[in-house]
Amino acid sequence: MAAGNGWRGAVIYQVYPRSFSDSNGDGVGDLPGLLARLDHIASLGVDAIWISPFFTSPMADFGYDIADYRNVDPLFGTLADFDRVLAKAHALGLKVMIDQVLSHCSIAHPWFQESRQSRDNPKADWFVWADPKPDGTPPNNWLSIFGGVAWQWEPRRGQYYLHNFLASQPDLNFHNPAVRAAQLDNVKFWLDRGVDGLRLDAINFCFHDAQLRDNPPKPAALRTGRGFSPDNPYAFQYHWYNNTQPENLGFLHELRALMDRYPDVGALGEISSEDSLATMAEYCAPGRLHMGYSFELLTEDASPAYIRATVEALEAKLGAGWPCWAISNHDVQRAVTRWGGVDADDALAKQLVALVCALRGSVCLYQGEELGLPEAEVPFEALQDPYGKAFWPNFKGRDGCRTPLPWDASAQAGFTTGTPWLPIPAAHRARSVAAQEQDPRSVLHATRAFLHWRRQQPALVEGGIRFLDAPPPLLAFVREHAGQRLLAVFNLSSTPVAWPAFAAGELLAVPGPEAGHLRDGILHLPPRGVAFAALE
């Protein structure tokens, strides 16, 4: 990452702490476990870690339902443990980004416990409360992402409260300036503690339509998006009023003003709206978020045309803003399975790391991508995710991408001495860190080599992007910055491809993915092959 450019071009390694490393044998990963394994992350050549929630929580949504924004849940350790992680990460040259879940909290949070008691207590207006319709039904037709209506009845107040996610995750009322001030103060607590960045969960959900207008219906043919299978009623609406309200832009300016008081910190917003690319561009305008990412590359479409159209659509809107790309995270099926099927091989895993790290923007790599882990099959009786339990068997939830990271081939994969909170499949143990360290052709070594090479290429770290017309299954684009121009070509198929139109001179020796070669002026790419060339 070039000096002085903050988070631009950074490769961020996402740690899902429940599944990273368990230090005390209770079957759940924790902060001391992360501390002991930080050297593995640093060896990859990434610039930062993003730690998913470790705050005090009943764990109804595994930490995204926060009961205390300023403390560590005992399941994960203590504040002192977090401080040790922060100090060691900094000593290793890693920045630390933490989740901030601002739009909603847990029903166990003292704010909600007070708010639910009556309509006239000091926190009465801190959440989104509404009277029922005359027939007792909810105030409007808004739906929860996790299924069913987005309103829960509270008999103590004789009102409904809004929850865009689980009923145990009530939405805060950001129209109340005291709520905004309190959440900014919680953010300040962690900035003062020394964190370098914030990953802002569901940041476009902070405000709701104050008039509580109904969302309009969506035609059946358009019911697609982030995990929204046609059987999830959430997909039946245009979500124009329960999120992404114009008032949110003012809050982003308030948040940015706070962050600008600290040197070189960054905010990465998670954005899921009816037009996520447009919202991403709007939220990353000057004076707002430093970076944004959406779910456009977390879909099942891995065609060159779709990837090009997605990136070009964002580039056309983004202006001075900066994107962040991810193809896997803790919410979606792992990319090698999603894009390669059950028979995906190491060549695809190596290529996917190179591809996402070659696009313009910063990058989030999810733990296990450096091992090429496929999606795990989790039987219903072992399922933990409430989302999966609600929609089984049509949608199996998010547990398949959340199983513990395999450190060795032992029964519990070196993750724990106890019983892991999710089962670890034998196929993952065979792809353990220990096994791949011993194999110079492994995905782990390929990832490490490519990321270290990428750091030395200013065009890939900070350059612009321009796509070239190439026949499918090829994806080709040029990255340019500081006098360097690089042509990148990817064969997104499982069969060899030749490109006679290629005319870029000598290819660069790029470590990591399966490499293409020139013969008689024709570029030959093996299955899932990659080529980089320096242009005049």
Pairwise CA distance, residues 485 & 504, whole Å: 11
Number of Cβ atoms within 10 Å of the Cβ of 48: 24
Residue with tokens 């008689």: 520
Element spanning 85, H or E: helix 79-91
Long-range contacts of 307-316 (CB under 8 A, 24+ apart): 307/475, 308/467, 308/475, 308/477, 310/277, 311/359, 311/360, 311/465, 311/467, 312/467, 313/277, 314/277, 314/280, 314/281, 315/360, 315/465
Number of Cβ atoms within 10 Å of the Cβ of 254: 14
Phi and psi at residue 326, to the nearest 5°: -145, 145
Q: Would you say how long the chain is, in residues?
A: 536
Which residues partner with 245 through β-bridges?
none
Alpha helices in 242-322 (DSSP H): 247-259, 276-283, 304-318
Annotation marks residue 346 as catalytic: no
CB 40 within 8 A of CB 433: yes
| List of E strands, 326-396 | 362-366
Annotation marks residue 480 as catalytic: no
Longest distance between any two alpha carbons in the chain, whole Å: 81
Kindly state the DSSP code that residue 161 receives in the 8-state scheme. Answer: E
CB 452 within 8 A of CB 11: no
- Say how many Å lie between the first and final Cα of the chain, rounded: 24
CB 19 within 8 A of CB 425: no
Q: Which residues contact 204 (CB under 8 A, 6 or more apart)?
A: 243, 244, 248, 269, 271, 272, 273, 279, 283
Pairwise CA distance, residues 226 & 231, whole Å: 13
Q: Exposure pattern of 294-306 as b/e (b: 16+ CB <10 Å)?
A: bbbbbbeebebee
Q: Are strands 129-130 and 159-162 parallel, antiparallel or unpaired?
A: antiparallel
CA distances from 343 to 246, 428, 433 (A): 45, 14, 21
Pairwise CA distance, residues 418 & 56, whole Å: 23
Q: Please tell me which residue in 270, 315, 370, 375 is annotated as part of the active site.
A: 270
Q: Please tell me which residue in 61, 81, 196, 201 is annotated as part of the active site.
A: 201
Q: Which residues contact 468 (CB under 8 A, 6 or more apart)?
A: 476, 477, 478, 487
Residues forming the active site: 201, 270
